[in-house]
Amino acid sequence: MLLRSLHTKLVIASAGLLMLSACGSNLGTDSTFPEQKRGQVFQEGADGKQETVFGDGGLLGGGSKSLEDGQGGGGIGVNSYLWRASLDTLSFMPLSSADPFGGVIITDWYTPAESPGERFKVTVYILDRRLRADGIRVSAFKQNLDTANNWVPVQLTPKTITNLENAILRRARELRISREGE
């Protein structure tokens, strides 16, 4: 039995060495790197403009016409006014997650100082690159503390969620108007 186990280990080790030897590089000393492209992350497009890996405005979308219009850009996948307005409106709540490419903002539970027996959590979905009323959806959750110190879910009224969406849209309009005034 011991001999069989040793034989199996030897076969596995030999197979492993054989596979590793097959991974050798076929690059000789005559391998060259195209010097004219070294360090460049762009190529010239059909219109003569240089195209970068990260899009027209680079990684953060700087200088992009679409970003100037609040339509997103190379660095943000959603409408920038809705994104900023959502963050501004929810700034009193701790953030759990914020994904500017997917357009999702998730807050952590927030307990107001004036009512320690209740807490709230909000998720904002930005659905469009344009500034539109239907480009945003909010999900809000509320929990109350019961007598046994357990958090119990409480249904929020649809009006509460609508008011939160309207607050975000109002702030987005303010941001757009202030940008146009510059």
- What's the half-sphere exposure (Cβ side, CA atoms, 13 Å) at 126? 32
pLDDT tens profile 106-146: 999 999 999 999 999 999 999 989 999 999 999 999 999 99
Query: Structure pTM?
Result: 0.59
The architecture CATH gives domain 78-180: 2-Layer Sandwich (3.30)
* Residues recorded for the chain: 182
Q: What confidence score (pLDDT) does residue 179 get?
A: 86
Which range (14-18, 52-56, 169-173) has the least confidence?
52-56
User: What number is the average pLDDT over the span 30-40?
Assistant: 43
What residues does each domain of the chain span? 40-75, 78-180
Token reading at 49: 């403009």
Q: What confidence score (pLDDT) does residue 155 get?
A: 95
